[in-house]
Amino acid sequence: MATYKLNINNQEHTVEVSPDTPLLWVLRDAVGLKGTKFGCGMAQCGACTVHLNGNAIRSCSFPVSAVQGDVTTIEGLSANSDHPLQQAWVEADVSQCGYCQTGQIMSAAALLKRKPKPTDQDIDLAMSGNICRCGTYQRIKKAVHAAAEKGGAE
Amino acid sequence: MKTIVKVSRRNFLKVSGLAGTGLVLGFGLASGKNKPLNNIFEPNAFLKIGSDNTIIIFSKNPEIGQGVKTSLPMIIAEELEVDWNKIKVDQAPLDSRLGAQFAGGSTAIKTNWDTLRKAGATAKTMLLTAAATKWGVDAQQCKAVDGFILHTSSNKKLSYGELVEAAAQLEVPEEVALKSKADFKIIGTAKKGVDNQGIVTGVTQFGIDARAEGMLVAVVEKCPVFGGKVVSYDASESLKIAGVKHVIQLDAISSTAGLEGVAVVATDTWTAMKGRKALKVTWDYGEGESESSEKLSKTFYENVNKKGEIALRKDGDPEMAFESAAQVHEATYELPFLSHVTMEPMNYCADVKENSCTVWGPTQVPGSVSRLAEMITGIPRENIQVNMTRVGGGFGRRLMADYASDAIAISKTIKQPVQVVWTREDDVQHDFYRPAGMFKLKGALNAQGELTAWEVKATTTSRYLFRGSDNSPHATEIFPDGFPAGFVKNFNMEYTPVKTVVPTGAWRAPGHNITAFVDQSFTDEMAHLAGKDPVEFRLELLGDGNKEMPYDDHGGPTYSTGRLKNVIKLAAEKSDWKNAKKGLYKGFAAHFMFGSYIAEVVTISLDENNIPKIEDVWAVVDCGIVVNKSGAMAQIEGGIVDGLGAAMFGAITVKGGKSEQSNFDKYKLIRMKDAPHVNVHLVDSDESPEGLGEISLPTISAAYANAIFAATGKRLRKQPFNEYINDTSS
């Protein structure tokens, strides 16, 4: 066991966990932020995507001991739950089961920061690490474009 | 025109509100009379209206991504005459008053359609009567609009909230009028999912997000070889890990309701996973070790090349027809096991106390969970509370409650609430897979290029046989009344079930996800052999006019050739089927299942290496009345992507009695770059609503394979396609 001070969504959290604990389980079980989902445990599906210093990482395969900097989860993506991507996702009625969508949105948010007006190909590439078994890709793409139009890079 | 329907008073519950605050209505309560007043707050009826104008509509069935939490309440809201934006939807728990509650067979809308309309209409009628009585006018002069009752001539107006106290005193009407389709304001529109905002902000609770005070987390080690048993285990290293609380051996319930295993119970998920890694279990693999996909494939081959064990259908004289045919063509198709891989892995929570038990989590069958809980704990069902969370995907996997029985058994032993969490590896290796199988087709044409005989010899690892039911092992594997049966004079269908230790179960569009691929691919083969356009060939087979064809299976008892021809013609028209464009190739497929009709067209191009790329997909669907247009289109879009992904990449291969795949690195799912743009056209219909959640999946692999044939002349008869696409031997 070791003690870690983590900056998550601009708040400091102190957790006592084993150093090999993936950030995913620290977020879900120790901090109680359950919007970040468990999907595969080997960085294959993207359901656990969060931002570390603004970059998308797969928290299921990222040990807490390696975390340096600011972590942003879906709960901290926007102050009022109104990030342009969140709005666009609701508007395009993207979600079916909805389980993968927080991870999808976090990947898309990292993309828009890098590339405020992405092409279809940019989106395909940036979202290639996120699986949706319900097959909502068409609406995800539509929502990413719509958010980009509205200045989603905020 | 309005339809008057009878409401059975015996089956209709009216509970007057606590201090006059509300009206609760629910059907199917056996002993509904004189319930105590505080029942008002039980979330177990269809709707609840508060004196503060709060309107809560309960969604009775599990929400697995098929959209019922939005579409079922839309049906109630339509008849209730309320503003959709002002109601709140809540998930109902398991409650016998709500009738059957499950997600399966694409049945939620069709089986609840009448009941939910009556539930809304009855409440509205009582509110109308209450207002009319208050004003001393005829109820016929009043109307319900957006949560208010209006007296048209005097402009008097009362909100539903102002009327609930009076309405709750009234007798439940015996007959209520239902709206006509022309007056629908909610049904048929596109409504966004009621949980959308919660989902995109991460606050919506899935099963895996559930927590209870003092809850521990368990992971369960199961035998890697199918059907194996625990000989012994050594938990000493596991118990050294800080946070590991218990290691317990679990007994088997049955091959479908819970396998034996060893559970590691800890304070949190990661610790439980680590505890399991340190666990040493000695297994008796039993006979399972000798099973393999290679061996099964050999058995399949033998089976389709001999007389089938079960003669399912014979029309005319197929032997004679093949002998006298101008052309005879044979082809063999083979399909692998598929895993469900719902994005939310299996998990379930249970809190078993001395005389009561509360369970919650993702399931398609809350009733089965309740029965299992009674069986495991001995607690009577009336003391078992089953709550439903949102479900991160079902696809048929969660028709099995094996993972729930683990949670119940562990909680009973440790006398604490527990959440069982499966890893993805557990999920892929202990699934109830889509059955694997082989289908040998034989067709005959006469000199005019007409289809004169059709034979299918099929063999699959029957899921009913796996369950232990020897009766009708072909059920949901193959459909004797499916197209083209009934349209070919000489027809023969034989089936041979294969018993295996590999667990099999329902996988989105069970049976159809194989038969539609096989039948619609072979129809295309015969059309090309006849030198006919594949669309024309199908229309010619279906014949003139409208016929009701007998269909003795789910979605029957009959299906309409007129409706099938209509979707075929519309799909051809919308996709511009007849006009060839340079470098673009099209494939066609059509199907009837679960009461609905579909036709799909896939357009592909080829890159410089002859690798196909899907340019466009068209789907035309007739499912009767559509409730939620956005949700309906989502099901069609998603099913097509899902079906393409499974056909391109999906395969569980068995070696040494275990799955060779265990995670998304080897069990591939379709990703965004391979997912095409799908155009959906929903046929405007006055027919009763039918199943929609599964229908778009089965045909798409055939339409895609037929497009590849049109482009390259190569027939893809084995899935996953991407393994065979460059294989020149087949």
In whole angstroms, how large is the CA radius of gyration of chain B? 28
Give the distance from residue A24's alpha carbon to the nearest chain B alpha carbon, in angstroms.
9
Each residue's pLDDT tens digit, B407-423:
999 999 999 999 999 99
Report how far residue A28's alpha carbon sits from residue A35's, in angstroms, rounded to the nearest whole number: 8
- ipTM of predicted complex: 0.98
Task: Residue B52: count other Cβ atoms within 10 Å of its Cβ.
Answer: 11
Element (H, E) at B374: helix B366-377
| Contact check, Cβ <8 Å, A98/B638 | no
The predicted pLDDT at position B727 comes to: 64
pLDDT digits (tens, 9 = 90+) for B175-194: 899 999 999 999 999 999 99
Residue B330 makes CB contacts below 8 A (sequence gap 6+) with: B440, B441, B442, B443
Nearest CA in chain B to A36: B202
Residues B394 and B345 sit within 8 Å (Cβ to Cβ): no
Chain B residues near residue A75 by CB distance under 8 angstroms: 201-203
* Dihedral pair phi/psi, residue A63, rounded to 5°: -65, 145
Region A36-53: mean pLDDT is: 98
* Strand ordering across the sheet containing B216-222: B244-250, B261-266, B216-222, B418-421, B347-352, B357-361, B384-388
CA distance B286 to B223: 11
Q: Determine, for residues A134 and B638 on separate chains, whether the beta-carbon distance falls below 8 Å.
A: yes
Inspect the interface and report whether the beta carbons of B634 and A101 lie closer than 8 Å. no
Which of A29, A95, A123 is facing B269, going by the closest CB pair?
A: A29
Of A1, A25, A95, the CB nearest to B193: A95
List CB contacts (< 8 A) between B677 and chain A.
Answer: 138
Local structure of B309: helix, strand or coil: coil
- Reading the block at residue B227, the tokens are 């059907």
**Cβ contact A135–B65 (<8 Å):** no
Which tens digits make up the pLDDT trace of A14-32?
999 999 999 999 999 999 9
Determine which of A99, A100, A111, A120 to mutate to test the interface with B (most B C-beta atoms within 10 Å).
A99
Option in B344, B638, B677 nearest A99 (CB): B344
Spatial contact of A60 and A42, defined as CB atoms under 8 Å apart? yes
pTM of the model: 0.95
- pLDDT score for B30: 28
Contact B269 A28 (CB under 8 A): yes
Q: CB distance A135–B200 less than 8 Å?
A: no
SS3 sequence of B670-694: CCHHHCCCEEEEECCCCCCCCCCCC
Q: Which of B332, B342, B362, B512 is nearest to B435 (CA)?
A: B512
Phi, psi of B384 (to 5 degrees): -110, 120
Chain B residues within an 8 Å CB radius of A72: none
- Amino acid, single-letter form, for residue B516: A
Residue pairs between chains A and B whose CB atoms are closer than 8 Å: 186
Q: Which residues of B touch A124 (CB under 8 A)?
A: 672-673
8 Å CB contact between B202 and B240: no
* pLDDT value of position B90: 95
Residue B332: strand pairing partners = B440
Tell me which residue of B709, B290, B659 sits closest to B504, measured CA to CA: B659
- pLDDT-derived band at A154, boundaries 50, 70, 90: low
Phi/psi region, residue B67 (left: phi>0; alpha: psi -120 to 50; beta: rest), is left
Q: Which residue has the higher pLDDT, B1 or A41?
A: A41
In 3D space, the residue among B682, B477, B633, B289 whose CA is nearest the CA of residue A134 turns out to be B633
| pLDDT score recorded for residue B165 | 86
Q: How far is A69 from chain B (nearest CA, A)?
A: 22
Which residues in chain B land under pLDDT 70?
1-44, 726-730
Phi, psi of B442 (to 5 degrees): -140, 130
- Among the listed residues B593, B537, B546, the one whose alpha carbon sits nearest the alpha carbon of residue B566: B546
Mutate to test the interface with A, among B343, B388, B636, B648 (most CBs of A within 10 A): B343
The reply to whether residue B192 touches residue A138, judged by beta carbons under 8 angstroms, is no
